[in-house]
Amino acid sequence: MSVTRENVACYRLYAANCIELAEHVFDRDRRVFLLNMARDWLKLADQAEKEGGAGHDFEAPRVDSQPEPPAHR
């Protein structure tokens, strides 16, 4: 699958949406989950940019693992 700058922008938007949602969630575990998801979207965007080079279409990095669930207190 080819990833474009538009895809990377979407990844960053998804991260921003997760952060915005986390600001309105009172449950700590859910907030942590959303913030971790935001971090993962940003990592994916950064990785895609690095692997593809700025301004070019490129292949999406393969993601093999699932995000870890938040730890319970």
pTM, to two decimals: 0.68
Q: How confident is the model at residue 73 (pLDDT cuts 50, 70, 90)?
A: very low
pLDDT in tens, 12-69: 999 999 999 999 999 999 999 999 999 999 999 999 998 875 454 545 545 554 455 5
CA dihedral sign of residues 44, 63, 39, 37: positive
- pLDDT computed for residue 50 by the predictor: 87
Q: CA 26 → CA 1, 13, 70, distances in Å?
A: 37, 22, 15
Per-domain boundaries in the chain: 2-55
